[in-house]
Structure 1
Amino acid sequence: MIYWDISPEIFSLGPFSIRWYGLLFALSFIVGFQIMKWIFAKEKKSENDLNDLVMYMIVGTVAGARLGHCLFYNPSYYLSHPLEILQIWHGGLASHGAAIGIILALYYYSKKHKDQAYLWIFDRVVITVALSGFFIRMGNLFNSEIIGIPTDVPWSFIFESVDRYPRHPAQLYEAIAYLIIFISLFYYYKSKDGKTKDGFIFGIFLVSIFMFRFFVEFIKEDQTYFEKDLPLNMGQLLSIPLIIAGIVLIIRASRFKTAEKTH
């Protein structure tokens, strides 16, 4: 059993504070940028294209994840307190919202960059997105949020700021899973020397991430009151169409004997 009583703040100076969540969220973009820089250099894409992609990704990820959390999980509160939607440093990002935001952002990016096919971009970007999921869930752990249900397993956590019940460290489960998925996708991409079938990596990402998310939700506390009356919670309901989309992409990619041309 682990007693978790770590402050979400690293340090503060008056009204200004640095929080673990914000630091890890920023770190996810910094590390992700370096990985994408390596991928773009390997595939002879320009640095200007990369910088453009990063801007689309930041806007799509942050806006989608934050709006997804506010509108999927607690719409009545945030619609009556709209300014709090902007306070992302306090936590509250939804991976399903981020997925929607990224899909839209990359759609517009591909429209601007005709030499980069939509699925080709996704196959590269989702490698870093999986790693970002690891950093964000670690941020949730430091915030003592998105906790699991009570349990008696030896590795249970007691979140001192929540209650005195031993609980599943659901955030840690997800963080570890996302890190493993990142390593697997990156290894696959590298082993194929970038010559992958368009949509295959994206499909594997969707199925693995959201299949795990679907099952881990069974040992997580509901995040909103209305979920208690549902046979499946909001996270599970939102995961199902993304899993189906991933399966479709994998089947589609399997029909091609070689990687599709992207430029």
Structure 2
Amino acid sequence: MSHWFSYPNIDPIAFRIGPVAVHWYGLSYLFGFICVFLWMNRPAGRRRLGLTSDQIQDFLVYALVGVLVGGRTGFLIADWITKHNFADYAAHPLKFIAIWEGGMAFHGALVGVILAILLFLRKHPGLTFGILGDEVVPLLSIGIFTTRLVNFINDELPGKLCNPDHPYCVTFPAYPDGPRYPSQIFEAILDILTLPVILLVYRSRPPDGVVAWTWFTIYGITRSVAEIWREPGFTVLGLDGGQFVAVVQIFIGIAMIAYSYRRGVRTTTRMENAPA
């Protein structure tokens, strides 16, 4: 059976600057943060946020720390649950922070960013979670899309074993036990399809928080679907770990969308530091 494509064997290192290796993984994160900054820093975004460009950059530092700490912590917890390998980490403490080897959990990063938002809001009275969240999420799908492509490049997070007769199956070098679903590609496609939906919701100018919680809900749906093909790490109530969290995410998102509409508050311009 001929397959549509084979694993491309792309070097995880994009380029080197002297002794420093720059990985595609890091570039995908950088690209995502640039997209978020450009959206938030446009004049309409700054007016709604009531923040200067420097303050938006300050927020992104908070968000970056949240992503790194939350994402790594989530990965470590999942790794310990599935592999029971805490002793290995204790024997090699550098592994706790070895994000250059991969190993970031999306939902851990999401929790980290939410905590970062709450901390940032304490410095800016009057700026609400709904307003800030609405301006963070519109282009977030682009960064997630590129990161899933890098997961494929890095030969990580493979899908389940699949029927070799399926032309879209791939044999991953690190998993030579048979063809697997390219679940990273499937998830990347689902993520990028979220983009036009969120932009349409944003253009409708809904109450504060609706855009953010709509993205939150849709990601829960797409992640639940993507988990059908992903290799499960551990199960909870008959669902694999990622799918269980995604289902919970859907219910939270729907409840918060309803709450945001019920409040009915729409902020167009927040006066503090609003640019002319």
TM-score (norm 1): 0.87
Relative to 1, partners in 2 of residues 1:98 and 1:128: Cα closer, same or farther, differing over 3 Å? farther
Paired residues in the alignment total 257
Residue 36 of structure 2 is aligned to residue 32 of structure 1:
yes
- Secondary structure of residue in 2 paired with 1:3: coil
Q: 1:48 aligns with which of 49, 54, 59?
A: 54
Q: Does 1:160 align with 2:173?
A: yes
Which range is displaced more, 77-86 or 233-242? Answer: 77-86
Letter in 2 for 1:27: F
Within the alignment, does 1:6 sit opposite 2:10 as a pair?
A: yes
**Is structure 2 residue 245 aligned with structure 1 residue 231?**
no
Match of residue 259, structure 2, among 216, 232, 252:
252
Match of 2:249 in 1: 242
Equivalent positions of 1:1-263 (< 5 A) are 1=3, 2-4=5-7, 5-11=9-15, 16-38=20-42, 40-41=45-46, 43=48, 45-74=51-80, 76=86, 77-152=88-163, 153-163=166-176, 165-189=178-202, 191-192=203-204, 195-223=205-233, 227=234, 231-257=238-264, 259=266, 263=270
Unaligned runs of 5+ in 2: 271-276
Q: Gaps (5+ residues) in structure 1?
A: none
Aligned AA (1:102): V
- Residue 9 of structure 1 deviates from its aligned partner by 2.4
Contact 2:47 2:269 (8 Å CA) reproduced:
no
- Structure showing greater relative contact order (alpha-carbon pairs closer than 8 Å, 6 or more residues apart): 2
* 1:198–1:165 distance in 2 versus 1, CA, 3 Å: same
- In terms of fraction of residues, the more helix-rich structure is 1
The verdict on how the C-alpha distance between 1:27 and 1:16 changes in structure 2, with shifts beyond 3 A counting, is same
Cα shift at 1:257: 4.8
Structure 2 vs 1, CA of residues 196 and 143 (structure 1 numbering), >3 Å: closer, same or farther?
same
Residues 64, 256 of structure 1: alpha-carbon distance in 2 compared, 3 angstrom cutoff: same
The residue identity in structure 1 corresponding to 2:172 is F
RMSD over aligned Cα atoms: 2.5
Percentage identity across paired residues of the two chains: 28
